[in-house]
Structures are given as C-alpha cells and as structure tokens.
Amino acid sequence: TTIAYELEKKLIQSGHLAYVLDGDNLRNSLNSDLSFSPEDRSKNIERVANVAKIIADTGAIAIVSLVSPYIKDRSAAKDIADDTPFFEIYLSTSLETCEARDAKGLYKKARDGEIPDFTGITAPYEAPPSPNCILDTSSVDVKEAVNKVFLMLEPLFIKE
C-alpha cells in the first residue's frame, strides 16, 4: 500500500492520471460483504479487476494494491484487463518482515484465531511464476521500489 500510494504521487507529479485501488479501503466499501475465504477472495479480485479496467478505460493508470494469494485469481484479473496493459508486481517479502510491519495487528489476530483464512498464516500464498517485477521490501526501500516500477511503466508513456 505504501509503495502504491508513493507510485501514484510520482505518476501524478509526472503528469499522468493515476488512482490507487487499495484492498483495505475496498474491503470497507465495495467489498464489505466479503470474508477472506478462497471464494470471497476470488470475488474480491474479480470486482477490483473490473473497477481497475473501468479506471484504465478512462486513460488513467489503475494501481491495484491487494493480497492476491492464488495464481488462478491473478490470471482471471489479467483476463479481465483484456487489452489493457497489466503488470504483476510480486512483493516477495518474508512473513517475518510482514509481521514486523503490521500496524493494524492483523497477523496477530490471525495467529490468535480471530481471522480465518489469513494469507501466510492459515492460508497459502502461491507465488507468481513469471511476474513483471519482483520487489523484496526487506532489502529495497520504498523510494527504490517506486522508481523500479515507474521505470517499468515508462515505455507506456512514450507516444509514437
């Protein structure tokens, strides 16, 4: 989420329209009826992918910041994107690092049994076989991560 919002700022400062679709915010609004079950996670990804497609169709860049643990759901999101550029960014960060940064206490709640089907604790994560970009935020800081993603997107901004 931190990287997504910093990328959004950098894109806007560079003259591009951009908008972050953040999983936490969407779970309090559009997806407030969904749990963390595998079926509801699929619905969450599908809904967010459709919203991202609508945003992209306006000419803006949709930055989606979600935990998407299943390969099949990420593949479905890419199918929804259709001919819209779609980049999969894999934050390959250790569970220990995620727990250390857990400002909302979600990992603790999951370990205490308060949140079922929590990725990395009581539910699996399927690493992407071929993401467009891999970021290990235990060794790459936010600014470096944002720059890496921005440089990956830069060819999209060149008008022929």
pLDDT, tens digit only, all 160 positions of the chain: 999 999 999 999 999 999 999 988 898 899 999 988 899 999 999 999 999 999 999 999 999 999 999 999 999 999 999 999 999 999 998 899 989 988 889 899 999 999 888 899 999 999 999 999 999 998 999 999 999 999 999 988 876 5
Q: How many CB atoms lie within 10 A of CB 40?
A: 15
Catalytic residues: 68
How far is Cα 20 from Cα 38, in angstroms, rounded to an integer? 23
Q: Model confidence over 86-114: pLDDT tens digits?
A: 999 999 988 999 899 888 898 999 999 99
How far is Cα 106 from Cα 109, in angstroms, rounded to an integer? 5
How far is Cα 86 from Cα 79, in angstroms, rounded to an integer? 9
Q: What is the pLDDT of residue 20?
A: 98
Q: Compute φ and ψ for 138, nearest 5 degrees.
A: -80, -15
